[in-house]
Amino acid sequence: MKKLTRNYKTLCLALVFILQLPALAQALPRFSYEKINDHITSLRDLRIRKQSLTEERSRDELLLNLRVVENYGQSLAHYILDSFSKGTIQPYTLNLLHEFLKTEVVIHERIVDLKSDVLENEVLKALQLESFRKIHDLYFHKKTLRTILNDQFKIESLGLDKWYSLRDRVLNERYISNREDFLKAKAFPIKEFQRQKSKLLNTWSKSGLYVALENNVSWAPLANTELFWRNIGDGVLAGVGKVAIGASSVFGNAVGNIAWREGYLKNNTKLLSMLKETLKPFDLLMEKKAYKFTDITIPGNFGHVGVYMGSEEQLRKLGLWELPEMKPFRAPIKEGKRIFQVRRWGLEFDSLENFTNLDEIAVLRVNGFLERGKKDLSLTIEYLGDQIDKNYDFGFDAMTGETVTCTEIFAFSYGPIRWPSDEILGRTTISPDNVAELAFYKGSPLKTIFYVTGDERGLQHRSEQELGEALQYKKINGLYKKSSQKCRRDMIRSRRNGIRFKYICDDILTEKNY
């Protein structure tokens, strides 16, 4: 009987919160992936303002920011879930998720740390409790979001694990009962003149927890009591994933050193001269090493991508060299190591001379990248720097930030670009060919600068159309279309051989739109 009563009260409290959602939904900010850098900057500015507020001045602004960030969090969660379901989620979105969670923590910590047993503070703490529970449920009850967050929380430099300590402070029975007992005695019911006099009390009188008091529903179910068993389940799944990643790591390291010659373009002076004359900061260098065993095991034409950071002279002309975000890049660039990349042994800087021990190279460039404002470019450099010291992602999962592949370096850093991806064993994977193919999408932000191959005769200049053909794209009436085959099994009757089956394949041409 007690269990039924407890479940009934939990249901009542949940219904109270659900009834509050329609009004909140009307105020949801509209999320725009193309404006993601503006969102990141706004969240950072909000955190900075929170640091300088005094307690008396802060209550109204904390209340306002609590609601704004709560609504924004709902909008962001819906966007991520919708993108996941459509297979269009982008790694760069994780940067915004980081900023949102950091901002949530700052706001909630400021409220939790307010002096207790003060009416206005206790009201704000109750509103904060309600808001925190809504966001926590939204992000941690959905397995998709919870899996993403668990991966992000492993990145120590982000400091996102503060969310766990905040959860333990807020969603515990003692903290909740103290708020409930105080407000039931001091701020319930609220009179009409109190509503008119105080915005804080007026908001409190319309909150879900106030409605719960009106209906004699306990706040106790808000306590975070069900996480233990769910975390156990997540741990088991994570263990299974680690086994698969471990196997991939062993295989990659075993075959990575197998090679039967040097690259045809090694020490090619023409190629080095072309690169030095043509390359601009943040160009992408596509690599193919047909002489390595890994080239056989990696599907597609290209097996690796490196980021060209630029020379000191180029970066000074752009006004980027002295940016604080450039600090980890200056010394390697001065040493002539201008290529930033991740190999199976980890992140490294490399020289053009060493990098060009290969058989094919294509240079791709993001349209208008260097014309972006300094604020956006500094953000790109900052996020590139965040990848330093990370290990190679043998799981090839673009939505984990703890480890990275060669493509994830810039997918996490280059701003709101929609990189093509594939779903492999439930993971979002961005291959080097995915990146190169984007240059052949209609309306693409990426363009081909040049493409060369090597053979026994030396360097061979290739056209954009030939690059397309290497990636299975055919140029028809000025447009590139992806070539693929669709096969079916037909049954054929024969007097001599009876019934037999034959596979018939048709060529399919698909125009890809960005």
Domain that residue 399 falls in:
269-471
In the chain, the number of structural domains is 4
Residue type, 82: D
Residues 37 and 178 in one domain: yes
Specify whether 171 is located in the same domain as 312. no
- Residue 420 CB coordination number (10 Å): 17
Residue 260 within any structural domain of the chain: no
Give the torsion through C-alpha atoms of 90, 91, 93, 97, to 10 deg.
140
Task: Give domain status of residue 322, yes or no.
Answer: yes
Contacts (Cβ under 8 Å, ≥6 apart) of 237: none
Beta strand 446-455 pairing with 458-462: antiparallel
Spatial strand order in the sheet of 339-343 = 346-350, 339-343, 304-308, 284-288, 360-366, 446-455, 458-462
Q: Does pTM surpass 0.75?
A: yes
Establish if 412 belongs to a structural domain.
Answer: yes
Residue 386 covered by a domain: yes
pLDDT in the model for residue 333: 98
40 and 103 both lie in a single domain: yes
Tokens of 498: 């009876």
In a domain, residue 261? The reply is no
CA atoms within 13 A on the CB side of 47: 15
**What is the per-residue pLDDT for 236?**
41
Q: What is the pLDDT of residue 30?
A: 60
Instruction: Answer whether 339's CB lies under 8 Å from 321's CB.
Output: no
One domain, residues 328 and 191: no
Is residue 242 classed as helix, strand or coil in its secondary structure?
helix
- Please answer whether residues 307 and 338 qualify as being in contact, where contact means their C-beta atoms are separated by less than 8 angstroms: no
pLDDT at 217: 93
| 458 part of a folded domain | yes
Residues 6+ apart with CB under 8 A from 135: 70, 73, 74, 104
Residues 481 and 445 in one domain: no
Residue 331 and residue 315 share a domain: yes
Are 137 and 151 within one domain? yes
Do 318 and 390 lie in one domain? The reply is yes
| Structure tokens, 461 | 């200049």
Same structural domain, 214 and 296: no
Counting as low any pLDDT under 70, the low residues of the chain are 1-31, 50-57, 224-260, 293-298, 494-498
In a domain, 263, yes or no: no
| Residues 209, 315 within the same domain | no
pLDDT in the model for residue 314? 98
- 398 and 432, same domain (yes or no): yes
CATH of the domain at 387: 3.90.1720.10
- Judge whether 485 lies within some domain: yes
Residues 106 and 147 in one domain: yes
pLDDT number for residue 17: 45
